[in-house]
Structure 1
Amino acid sequence: MKLTVLGCSGGIGGARSRTTSFLVDDDILLDCGTGVGDLELDALRAVDHVFVTHAHLDHIASIPLLIDSVGESRRFPLTVYGSPETLRILRSHIFNWLIWPDFTAIPNRHRPFLRLQPVKVGECVRLGERAITALPAHHTVPALGYCLDSGAGKLVYTGDTTYCKPLIAALNQTRNLRHLIVETAFPDEQHGLALASRHLSPSLLGAMLDELEVSPQVYISHLKPGVGERIMAQIACYAGRLRPRALVHGEILEF
């Protein structure tokens, strides 16, 4: 499998600051932030599956526009996967005819442009030879991470999360884990804000990495604009076994 970074920033502000979105092979999106807007129309049409970690705007902003752009040209619905709570939020607050049309009923409920498919922690979605499993995460709203398994190797994307024991346990049970994409949104001087907003700071990230028994390459995402260099400098002081580095817009990870 191949993951292309369309966006990995914690905000906007600059030519390469796109919020979280990853293209997996040609037909899967992991989250659907502003980075999706850089894809050409043919690439948007090729996307059949969107796996959403949680309902915050920086992770779902492009879903309504994506469906509006390609819905009529598709032969079957675009499927959005997420926790039951996340899908309820999308239905109630986005696809509600007020913020955006309800594409689960357009052109009709028998052949809609959009299908919402709930997944729960531990549940596996198989797409041909590929498997995508929902993992636990701990954020201010219900949230998931995802493990992608190509059969040859695995990649885990945590989504937005603070220190989370169940997630650490799930990672330690993931054999042949090649890549781990984990957020770190705030520097250590904003440790209290990280705790309140249930994000990671470098010290919280270090505590999490200290408990890992697996040995993936660790990539840092969701760096807040303007403080990314400071966050990465603090992470560079981490003295543990794993050596995290910043994820880069446009980077491709294979596994």
Structure 2
Amino acid sequence: MKFRVLGCSGGIGGHEMRTSAFLVDDDILIDCGTGVGVLDYAELLRIDHVFITHAHLDHIGFIPLLVDTVGNDRRAPITVYGTVETIRILRSHIFNWLVWPDFSAIPDRHRPFMRFQVLKVGESVALDGRRITSLPALHTVPAAAYCLDSGEGQLIYTGDTTYHPPLIDAINRQPALRHLVVETAFSDVMHGLAMASRHLCPSLLAHFLDALTCRPQVHISHLKPGHAERTMAEIGVYGGHLRPTMLANDQVLSF
């Protein structure tokens, strides 16, 4: 499997600042932030599945535009996966005919442009020999991480989370984990804000990584614009057994 970074920033501010969106092979999106905007029409048309970690705008903002753009030219609906709480939020606050039309009912409920599928934490979806499993995460809204399994290797994307022992336990149970994409939104100067907003900062990340018994490559995502350099410098002081590096747009992780 190939995991292509379309966007991994914690905010906007120029062409390179694209929010969370990752293309798996050519038909799966993990989160659907502004990074999706770099795909051309033919690439958008190939997307069949969208897995959402949580319902914050920087992770779901381009779902409405994606479905609106390609829905009429597809033979089957795009499937949007998430926890029951995440899907409830999307239905109530986005696809509610006020913010955006309900594309799960357009052109009608028997032939919609989009469908929702609840994926409980711990459950998996098998897609042409690939397996995607929802893992526990802890954020200010109901959230999930995802484990992507090619059959030969695994990648875990935490989405937005703070230090969360159930997630750490789930990571440690993966037998062939090659890549861990983990957020670190704030520098330690903003430790209080990180705690209040249930994000990681370098000191919390250090505790997170120290609790891991596996040895994946660690990639840092969701850095806040204007603070990325400082945050990565603080992460660089970490003296543990893992050596985190900053995730970059257009980077491709294979596993």
Fold match (TM-score > 0.5): yes
> 2:213: which partner in 1?
213
- RMSD of equivalent CA atoms: 0.4
Q: 2 CA distance for matches of 1:133 and 1:46?
A: 22
Give 5+ residue unaligned stretches, structure 1: none
> 1:21: which partner in 2?
21
> 1:168: which partner in 2?
168
CA offset at residue 31 of structure 1? Answer: 0.1
1:1-255 alignment runs, 5 A limit: 1-255=1-255
CA offset at residue 33 of structure 1? Answer: 0.2
CA offset at residue 214 of structure 1? Answer: 0.4
Q: Identity of aligned pairs, percent?
A: 67
Output the amino acid matched with 2:252: I
Local SS of the residue matching 2:43: helix
Output the amino acid matched with 2:208: M
Output the amino acid matched with 1:203: S
Local SS of the residue matching 2:6: strand
Output the amino acid matched with 2:7: G
Q: 2 CA distance for matches of 1:184 and 1:112?
A: 37
Output the amino acid matched with 2:101: P
Give 5+ residue unaligned stretches, structure 2: none
CA offset at residue 86 of structure 1? Answer: 0.2
Output the amino acid matched with 1:163: Y
CA offset at residue 14 of structure 1? Answer: 1.6
Q: 2 CA distance for matches of 1:56 and 1:157?
A: 16
Output the amino acid matched with 1:233: A
Local SS of the residue matching 1:196: helix
CA offset at residue 38 of structure 1? Answer: 1.0
Q: 2 CA distance for matches of 1:128 and 1:226?
A: 41
Q: 1 CA distance for matches of 2:154 and 2:60?
A: 24
Q: 2 CA distance for matches of 1:136 and 1:237?
A: 28
Output the amino acid matched with 2:108: N
Q: 2 CA distance for matches of 1:73 and 1:3?
A: 25
Q: 1 CA distance for matches of 2:180 and 2:172?
A: 12
Q: 2 CA distance for matches of 1:237 and 1:191?
A: 16
Local SS of the residue matching 1:231: helix
CA offset at residue 223 of structure 1? Answer: 0.1
Q: 2 CA distance for matches of 1:38 and 1:148?
A: 23
Q: 2 CA distance for matches of 1:205 and 1:19?
A: 20
Alignment: residue pair count: 255
